[in-house]
Structure 1
Amino acid sequence: MHGDAITDILIVLTAALALVPLLHRFGVSPILAYLGVGIILGPSGLKAIKDPNEAAWLAELGVVFMLFAIGLELPLERLKTMRYYVFGLGSAQVGATMLIIGAAAYLLGVPPAGAVVIGGMLALSSTATVLKLLVDRGEAAARFGRIAVAILLLQDLAVVPMLALIPLLGAGTGGAVWYALGLALGKAVLALGLIVFAGRFLIRPLFKQIASTGNAELFTAASLFILLGLGWITREAGMSMSLGAFLAGMLLAGTPYRHQIEADIHPFRGLLLGLFFVTVGMTFDLAALIGDIGPILLLAAGFILLKIAVTGLVARLFKIKSDTAWRAAFLLAQGSEFGFVLTSLASGSAILDDTLTLRLNAAIVISIALTPLLALFGQMTAKRIRDRRGKGSSLVEETERLGDHVLVAGFGRVGQAVCRLLDNAGITYVALDLNVQRVIRARASGMPVYFGDAGRLDVLRAAGINRASLAVIAIDNPAQAERMASALRDSAPQVPVLARAWDSGHAARLAKAGVALAVPEDIEIGLGLGSAMLLRLGHTQEEVEASVIAFRAEQQAFGSTEPDKTSQRISKD
C-alpha cells in the first residue's frame, strides 16, 4: 500500500470520526451518515480523495464481514423453529416482490438480466434500519415485529444466491436466467453441504480445543481464519467470497462460541462496513443527482408503494390479521443496504449502466431515510383497522372462524414465551388473561389476547375451546391452574391440556385434574441453568442434550424426592 492510499484512508477515517457522531445526534442512521461522508469527500464534493478505488478492497472485506455476522444470527435451529414464516411468508414476499418489480422494470425497457437484478435488490429491506427501529421502540417482541424479522431473515438468505447469480448474468448467459439461477443455487447447496460436513468433524472440535487454552488472541485468529478461509475457498470455486463468509457464520452460529466470535469480529465489521458505505457515497455525482431528481423520486415512490402492497397482500394470504400485515408491510417498504452491494456488483458486471445505478442507489437512500415516517404511517393504518374492526366486536366474533388453534390461559412471562413460539411456528392461538393493562398492550401490538377467565366454561366456549387442537395453562397460581384444568376437562375433554406446574406435587394434582402433561418449573429452571453451565464449561450441544435426556429418564424412573411446597406459596402472575 503506497503513501497516497494511506493518506486517503486517514482522510476517510478522520471525516467519519468527525461527522458520523454529529449526524447521529440528529437521528441520522449510521448508513446514511457514512454515505454522506463519501459524498462530501468524493469527486462531486471536496475532491479530498484522489482515487476512490484505492479503498475498494477494504470495502469488499466490509461486505464479507457483514455476511459473516448475518450468518452468525441464523443458526439452523432458529430457522427450523421459524420455518413457517421465514421459508413460507418470507419466500412468498421476496418471490412476489421480485417478480412484480422485475416485470415492471422489463416493461419500462430494462434488459432481462437487469430486470432480474433490479427486482431482486428492491425486494430486500434494510435489516439494520428495521431492527434498530424495533429495538429502540421496544416493538421487537410485538407480533408485527416478529413477522418483519422473519421476512428479513429470508431476505438475508436470499442475498447469497443473488451474489452468485449476478456474475453469471454478466458473463453472457443472456436470457438463460433460470439456468444461471439454478447453477448458482446448486453451487450454494453443494458448498453448504461440504462446509457443514467439515464444520461438524473439523471446525467444531478445533474451536473446542482452542477455547480450552483460554488464549483470547488465538481464538480471534481462529475466527478470522475460518471467515477468510471459507471465503477464499468459495471464491476459488467460482463463487463470491461473501458466500463463504455467510456459510461460515451459519456453521458457527449453532456452537457455544457464537457470542464470543460475534464480539471478536464486531469492531472489524463496523469499521470495514463503514468504509464500504463511504466508497458508495463517493460514486454519487451531486450534479447528476440534482438534474435527475424527478426520475429518482418517482423510482423511490414507485417501489415503496409496490412493496407495501405486495408485502401486505402476501401476509394476508398467510392468514395474518390485517392490522399486523399492513404494519409489517409499511415497516419493510424501504430498500436494503445490500442494494448498494448488488448495484456495485451489477455495474461492474455490465448489467446496469451508470445512470440506472445512480438512480437505484439514490432511491434506496431516500427510502431508508423515510423508514421512521413509513413506520408511523403503518402504525396509524393498523390503528384505523383495529378501531374499525373493534366496533361491536367480541371474543366470540373474533374467534368464530378459528379452528385447530391453541388456547393459552395466562399471558404473563411464560404465556408470552409460549405464544411467541407458536407465532414463530406459524400456529394460530388465542390467549386469555385477567390483567387489563397486559391485554391492552398485547392487542395494541396486534396479538390475539383477550380479557377473560379461562376457568369459566362460558369464556372457554367463546374462545372456541371445542374447535381447539390444544390448551396450555401458563399461569403462576397453583389453585387457579387446577380450577382451569377442571374447567377445560369439563368443557372439552377431547382437547389435550399442557400446564405449567410449580413442583412435582402440583404436577401430580394437575394430572388428576385431567392435564396431559404438567411441566414443573423448578426442574426446568434447573435444567436450563445446568445446560448453560455445561456449555460454558466447554461441553458440546450434543453432550448437553444427552445429559438432559438422561436426567429426564431418571426422573421418570424414580420420580422426584422434592417435598410439595405448593401450600407454602402465595403467588401472583
Structure 2
Amino acid sequence: MDHSSTAASHAADAAHGAGFDLVPVVILLAAAVFAVPLFKRLGLGSVLGYLAAGLVLGPSGLRLIAEPEAVLHAAELGVVLFLFIIGLEMQPRRLWALRHQIFGLGIAQVALCGALLTGVGVLLGYSLPIAFLFGMGFVLTSTAIVMQILQERGELNSEPGQKMVSVLLLEDLAIVPLLAVVALLSPATGDQSLTARVIGFGVAIGAVLVLIFLGRRIMNPVFSALAAAKIREVMTAGALLVVLGAALLMQSAGLSMAMGAFLAGVLLSTSSFRHQLEADVEPFRGILLGLFFLAVGMSLELAVVFENAGLIAIGVIGFMLVKSVAIYALARMMKSDHQEAMERAVLMSQGGEFAFVLYTTANASGLIDGPTNAVFTATVIVSMMVTPFALIAYRRFMPARTQSLEGVEVAHDMSERVLLIGFGRFGQIASQTLLGQGHAISIIDNDVEMIEAAARFGFKIYYGDGRRLDILHAAGAPTADLVLICVDDKEATNRIAELIRDEFPLVKVMARSFDRAHALELRHIGVEYEIRELFESAISFGAEAIRILGAEEHEIREVVAGVRVRDKLRFEAQMLGDVRSGTDLLLSNAVEQAKEGGVRTPAETRPRPEPTKADTSAE
C-alpha cells in the first residue's frame, strides 16, 4: 500500500507539473506581451520594451526573477538562432561579394575603435591591459540590437544594412583572438606553451572545416530523408539539431556559438530545404531573442550603477561618443554619404553581448576582479539601453534621407499626350500596350535606382514626385490627354488624383487601386477608370484553376463573365452607398441579373454527379 500510494503521489505531482516551476515562465511571457506592444505604440521600439521589462522584473526591480544569469545563458540561443536565419539569407556567392566589406571595413572599424577606446580607458584611470580589455569589449557592437532594428525596418538587404552586417560578422570573428589575448594577459594562463596555442588554433580551423564538410555532404541527404518521413516535428527537430550542433561544435573549438550557427546557415542557404528550415526555426528565434533582451535588462545591477554612477556615466558617454565619431569618420572615408554615416554611427555606438563573454572570461582567469567586471558589464548594458533613445533622437532631428540625383534628369517642360506616374512592376506592364500602339509617353518616378535600372533597358524616365503640383506642371499634366497613376502607395495615389482633379479638371485620369475600398475612394475623387491591382490576375488565376479541373472553354468564359457582372453590380451598389440589404442579398440579385443575361451560376456550371444504381432503379 505504501509503495502504491507513493507511486500515485509521484504520478499526481508529475501531472500537476510539481517538478517544473511555471511561475517565472509566465512572468517573462506576460512582461513581453504587455511591455513590447506598449513601447512600440509609444515609438520606442521593441528592444527597449524588452530591456525595460527585464529591468522591472530583475533583482534591481520587483525581484520576480532571482537568477537573471541563468536566463541570459539560455537566452543567448536567441542570438544563435538569429544568426542562423541571417546565414540562410547569405548565399556563399553573396557572402563572397561582401568579403571586401567584411575584411576591409570590418577590420578597419575594429582596429580604429579599439585603439581610441583603449585610450579612453586609460584616461578613466585603468592600466593599459585593463583599458584594452574594457575598450575592446565595447568595440563589439550588439549584433542582436542592430540586426533586430534593421529587420524591423526592412533594411537588412539594403546597401547600408549590408555594410553593418559585414562589420558585425567581423566583430563576431574578433571575439576569438580577443579571448586568446585574455589568455596571454591573465596571470593564471600566461605560462601556456606556444605548442598549446598552436594546437588550439588548429582545432578551431579543423572545426570550421568539419562544419563545411557536413554542410556540403551530409545535411542535404539527411533533410531529404527527414522530409520523406513527412513528420513535421521531426523536420523541426532536425533544424534545431543543425543550429545547436553547429553552435556546440564551434564553442568546443573555442569559437563563437553565433558564428557556428551563421556558418551553418550559409552552408544551407542554397539548399532546397532553406525555406522550410527558416520557417521551423523562426518561432524559436523570436521568443529566445526577446528573452535575451529581457535577460540583459534583468542583469543590470542598479546598486552597482548608483555606487559607480560617475564612472559608468563617463564611460558610457565617452565610449559611445568616441566610437560614434570613429565610425562616422571611417564611413565617410569609405565614400558613404553624411546620412548613411550618421545612421551607422548612432546604430552601432553601443557595446554588445560578446562583451559579457570577454569580461566574464577575464574575471574567471583573474585578469580583472568581480567589482570591475560588474562596472564593465553595467557600462555595456546601459549603452545598449541608451541606443534606442539615441536612434529616436537621430530620426527626430536629422532630415529625411534624400536620394542622389547624379546622372538622373529631373522632370522639366515635358509635353507628351500621355503622362505615366510610377514605373514599378505595374507601370512597366501598363506602358507596353501604349508603346505598342506608338503612343509617346512621359514617365516620372521618384526611385533613382529604378530610373537607372530602366535606363539600361532603353527607357527614358525622369525624376519627379507626382504629389507635388510643380512637378505635375513640369511633367506636362496640364496639356496631357491622359494621366496614368501607377504608384504603389494608396495615399500617394489619392493625393495625385486630387491634385489633378482640382488643378486640371479636363484631364482624364486612370489609376491603380489597392483594393475595393481604395477603388471606391478613387471613384469618389473623380478618376475616369481604376483597376484593383490584383483583380484581373486573380480572375485569370481562378479561370486557369477550373480549366485544370476539366471545365470547357465556354464554361470558363461564362463563369468569368458571371464573376465580372456580380462584382460590377456590387461595386455600383457600394458607390451609391446602398448597403441596407447586405452582401448576401446583393449577391443574390446579382446572380439573378447574371442569369437573365444568359450567364449560368457556379451551381449550374458544376458537373452533375452520375446517377447511382438506387436512383436508376427508382426511375
Output the CA distance in 2 between the equivalents of 1:117 and 1:203: 39
How far apart, CA to CA, are the structure 1 residues paired with 2:162 and 2:260? 28
Say if 1:245 and 1:379 are closer, same or farther in 2 by CA, change over 3 A: same
Task: Indicate the SS of the match to 2:65.
Answer: coil
Pairs within 5 Å for 1:395-434? none
Query: Deviations 1:56-83 (Å, cap 9, x if unpaired)?
Result: 5523433433443343343322211222
Q: Does 1:273 align with 2:304?
A: no
What pairs up with 1:144-543 in 2 under 5 angstroms? 144-158=160-174, 172-174=188-190, 187-239=203-255, 241-322=257-338, 324-336=340-352, 338-339=354-355, 342-343=358-359, 351=368, 352-376=372-396, 379=399, 437-438=445-446, 442=448, 474-475=456-457, 477=459
**CA distance 1:472–1:412, change in 2 (3 Å):** closer
Name which of 48, 60, 71 aligns with 1:32.
48
CA offset at residue 259 of structure 1?
2.5
Q: Which one-letter code corresponds to 1:104 in the other structure? A: V
Per the alignment, residue 110 of structure 2 pairs with: 94
**C-alpha contact 1:43 1:282 (8 A) present in aligned 2:** yes
How far apart are 1:196 and its partner, in Å?
A: 0.4
Cα separation, 2, equivalents of 1:34 and 1:322:
31
Give 1:43's aligned amino acid: P
The amino acid that maps onto 2:234 is L
Answer yes or no: is the 8 Å Cα contact 1:76–1:250 preserved in 2: yes
State the shift of 1:264 in Å: 0.9
Secondary structure of the structure 2 residue equivalent to 1:219: helix
- Specify whether residues 249 and 333 from structure 1 end up closer, same or farther in structure 2 by C-alpha distance, changes over 3 A only: same
Output the CA distance in 2 between the equivalents of 1:194 and 1:14. Answer: 42
Larger Rg: 2
Aligned-partner residue type, residue 196 of structure 1:
I
Range with greater deviation from structure 2 (346-355 or 262-271): 346-355
The question of 1:119 aligning with 2:135 is answered yes
Q: How does 1:11-50 map to 2 (within 5 A)?
A: 11-50=27-66
Q: Deviations over 1:530-557 (max 9, x none)?
A: xxxxxxxxxxxxxxxxxxxxxxxxxxxx
1:220 to partner: Cα distance: 1.2
Change (3 A) 1:99 1:340: same
Separation (CA, whole Å) in 1 of partners of 2:195 and 2:398: 39
Offset at residue 154 of structure 1 (A): 3.7
Q: Is the partner of 1:370 in helix, strand or coil?
A: helix
- AA at the equivalent of 1:353: N
- Which residue identity is paired with 1:251? L
Which deviations, in whole Å up to 9, do the C-alpha atoms of 1:236-271 show, x marking residues without a partner? Answer: 445554443333233223323223212211222222
Under a length normalisation based on structure 2, what TM-score does the superposition of the two structures give?
Answer: 0.56
Alpha-carbon RMSD across the aligned residues, in angstroms, is: 4.4
Q: Paired residues, what number? A: 412
For 1:170 and 1:67, the matched residues in 2 are separated by 31
3-state secondary structure, aligned to 2:457: coil
Read off the aligned partner of 2:58 and give its amino acid letter: G
Cα distance in 1 for partners of 2:129, 2:196 equals: 10
CA-CA distance at 1:450 after TM superposition = 9.5
Is the Cα contact below 8 Å between 1:16 and 1:37 reproduced in 2? Answer: yes
Query: Structure 2: where are the runs of 5+ without partners?
Result: 1-16, 409-421, 426-441, 461-619
**Deviations, residues 7-38 of structure 1 (Å, cap 9, x unaligned):** 33333333333333333322333332222222
CA distance 1:199–1:343, change in 2 (3 Å): same
Equivalents in 2 of 1:282, 1:79: separation in Å?
A: 36
Instruction: Determine the C-alpha separation between the residues in 2 that align with 1:132 and 1:52.
Output: 22
Which residue does 1:467 correspond to in 2? Answer: none
Partners of 1:254 and 1:267 in 2: CA distance: 22
TM-score by length of 1: 0.59
C-alpha contact (below 8 Å) 1:328/1:378 kept by paired residues: no
Higher relative CO (CA 8 A, sep ≥ 6), structure 1 or 2?
Answer: 1
- The amino acid of 2:319's aligned partner reads F
Instruction: Give unmatched runs, 5+ long, in structure 1.
Output: 397-410, 415-433, 452-470, 479-573
User: How far does residue 377 in structure 1 lie from its aligned partner after superposition?
Assistant: 5.1
Q: CA deviation at 1:150?
A: 4.0
The answer (yes or no) to whether the contact 1:330–1:378 under 8 Å persists in 2 is no
Cα distance in 1 for residues equivalent to 2:77 and 2:155: 32
Compared CA separation, residues 215 and 266, structure 1 to 2 (3 A):
same
User: Which whole-Å CA distance do the structure 1 matches of 2:180 and 2:18 have between them?
Assistant: 32
Give me the identity figure in percent. Answer: 36
1:476-522 CA-to-partner distances (Å, cap 9, x unmatched) read: 549xxxxxxxxxxxxxxxxxxxxxxxxxxxxxxxxxxxxxxxxxxxx
Write the deviation string for residues 197-245 of structure 1: whole angstroms up to 9, x where unpaired.
2221212222233334443222111111222223333344455544433
When residues 27 and 203 of structure 1 are mapped into structure 2, their CA distance, relative to the original with a 3 A threshold, is: same
Contact residue 231 and residue 244 of structure 1 kept, 8 A: yes
SS at match of 2:105: helix
1:8 to 7, 11, 24: 24
Residues in 1 aligned to 2:80 and 2:21: alpha-carbon distance in whole angstroms = 21
